[in-house]
Amino acid sequence: MTDSKKSMGVVVLVGAGPGDAGLLTLKGKDWLEHADVVVYDYLANARLLRHCRASAETIFAGKKSGQTTLTQEAINALLIEKARQGKVVVRLKGGDPFIFGRGGEETIALRKAGIAFRVVPGVSSAIGVSAYAGIPLTHRDFSSTISFITGSNEKGKEDLHIDWEKIASRSGTLVFLMGARKLQRITDNLIKFGKSPDTPIAVIQWGTTARQKTWTGTLKTIVGIAQKEKISPPALTIVGEVVNLKPQMDWFETLPLFGKSIVITRAEEQADSMMNLLLDQGAEPLLFPAIETVPPDDWGPLDQAQNHLDNYQGLIFTSVNGVRYFFQRLQATGKDIRELKGLRIYAIGPKTERAVTDLGIRVDVVPEEYVAESLLASMGRENIKGQRFLLPRAMLARETLPDALRSLGAAIDVVPAYRTRRPTGGAEELIKRLQNGTVDAVTFTASSTVNNFLERIGPEAKGLLAKTVIACIGPITAKTAEKEDLKVAVVAREYTVAGLVTALEEFFTQRKTP
C-alpha cells in the first residue's frame, strides 16, 4: 500500500472466507487494518471488524435470505463515492469475491468510474465448508473433477439457467452454493437427467462455525430430511461419492467443545487468547466483558515509585494488566527497562511472566500455583526480612499478599497502576440468549467479573444462570460465585485461561460419555 494510492482513493475487494474468522488471509487483514471505510456483507464474520482502526467507518450492506439492505447498484455507487473522497475502501465479502460473490460486477463498475481497485482472494465456502465437514471434494478413488454451481440467481427466479443434462452427466463432485431454498429443484433435475437417486449428498449449514450442522442422505431422501430439519440458508450442498468419506474424515464436529456457546467475561483487550482457545476446540465464544481497565485516577504514586526504583529490592506483578500499565507509564515518563537493574522480578503466573519476558526482562520467581497465596509461599522461602518491594496493581484488590509480606518483616509499597470498572449497557442480546437457553457456559476469570456480570445483567441474573454451566478460573473466583448463590460446575486445576478451557473440555466430554 502506498500513500499515493490512498490519496487518490482505492477499493479493495477482500474475501472474508466462509465464516471462521481465522480463515482470513494475511493480506486481507492488512487491508482491514489500513481501511478508512469497510463495506461488509452478512456472511462476513463481524469479528473481522476488530482488525479495523477505531476511526474506520463500517457499513453493513448484507443480503439475508432474499432481504437486501442495499441493492447491488447502491453498493456500487457507495464504493465509488467513498473512493472519490480519497479513502481506502475495503469491500469485505463472504467467501471469495469472484466465486458467486458479484465481485465481477463491482470491479466492472469501478473500472467504468475510473476507480483503482485491488482484489484479495478469500477461502471460498466451497473449499472451506467442505473441509470443515470432513468431505474432500476430490479423491483419486472417487472424483477427479469438481463443478461449482450456483443454487441461486438474481431476484429469486425459479429457473437457475443450468444445463442440467450436462451437469447430471458429470462423474465428479458437484458443489451447489446458496442452494438451500432450491434443494427440491436441484435433486429433481439431477435425477431427471440421469443421476442415480442413490447418489450421496450432503447439506452443510453455517459451515466453519460453531453453528455448523451437516446432514447426509441421497438424492431421493435429502429433501425429506431438509423439510424435517427445517434447513435454511446459509448452506452448501455437495453431491457425489466423496460424501461417503465423511465418517472417516470428520474432525471439526468431533472437537470437545464443538457447538458450545461460551460466554467470556474478561476485559475485551484480554479476551483474544481465550477466544482463540475456545475457537480451536469448536466453541462459539460470546464476548461479554464484565470488566474494563483504564488508567488510575492519579499517576502520582506510580510516578513517585518509578522515580525511586533503586529503593526497592523486588518488583511484584500479579497481572498482565499490571505489567502493561507499569511499563507504558515507565516509557511515557522517559524511562526504560534499565531502571530495573538489580531488582528481583516476581510474577504470579505464566501469562504474567510472558508479558514481562516479552519485554526482554527475566523473571526470577513464578509460583507453582498461580494465586497470591502460592506466590507468598515462594517469596517466604527467601530471606525477605528488611527488604522493600513494589507492587503495581489495580486500585482495588485483595490485601492478602501485602499484609502477609509485612508480617514476614518486608516493606511493600502498593501503588495503583490501573483501575477496573464495570462496562455499562449492551446486555440485551445476552439476556435474550440466556432466556432461550442458547448459552452453554459462562466463564469467570476473577471475582470482579462475577460481581460485575451480575450487576450488568440485573436482578434476573441468578435465575437466568440456574441452568447454565458456571466455570471459574480458580477457587477464589469460585468462592465469590458461590457466595452469590451461583452453582459452580467447573473450577480449573491450573489457574490460567488455558487451564479453564481444558477444564471445560473435560466437563463437556464427560457429560457426553454415557
Q: Which residues are catalytic?
A: 41, 63, 178
What cell numbers appear for 383 in the block?
A: 530471606
Task: Write the CA distances from 406 to 315, 367, 400, 413, integer angstroms.
Answer: 15, 19, 10, 10
Number of H helices, E strands in the chain: 20, 22
What cell numbers appear for 363 in the block?
A: 523473571
Name beta bridge partners: 285: 262
Distance, in Å, from the CA atom of 448 to the CA atom of 505, rounded to the nearest integer, reads 24
Name beta bridge partners: 491: 472
Burial, 90: exposed, middle or buried (Cβ in 10 Å; 0-12, 13-18, 19+)?
A: buried
What cell numbers appear for 335 in the block?
A: 524511562
User: Residue 245, Cβ neighbours under 10 Å: how many?
Assistant: 17
User: Residue 263, Cβ neighbours under 10 Å: how many?
Assistant: 23
Distance, in Å, from the CA atom of 123 to the CA atom of 65, rounded to the nearest integer, reads 22
| Contact between 8 and 89 (Cβ < 8 Å) | no
DSSP state of 438: -
Could you give the 3-state DSSP secondary structure of residue 303? helix
DSSP state of 310: G
Instruction: Report which secondary-structure segment, H or E, holds 214.
Output: strand 213-218
What cell numbers appear for 182 in the block?
A: 432450491
Length of the chain (residues):
514
Sheet with 213-218, strands from edge to edge, namely: 146-150, 173-177, 235-239, 200-205, 213-218
Distance, in Å, from the CA atom of 340 to the CA atom of 357, rounded to the nearest integer, reads 13
User: Residue 432, Cβ neighbours under 10 Å: how many?
Assistant: 11
Distance, in Å, from the CA atom of 321 to the CA atom of 355, rounded to the nearest integer, reads 9
Distance, in Å, from the CA atom of 506 to the CA atom of 441, rounded to the nearest integer, reads 13
| Contact between 208 and 22 (Cβ < 8 Å) | no
Q: In 44-198, which residue ranges form alpha helices assigned H by DSSP? A: 72-84, 103-112, 125-132, 164-169, 183-192
Do the bridges between strand 116-120 and strand 67-68 make them parallel or antiparallel, or are there none, so unpaired? unpaired
Q: Of 493, 490, 514, nearest to 504 (Cα)? A: 490
| Contact between 320 and 343 (Cβ < 8 Å) | no
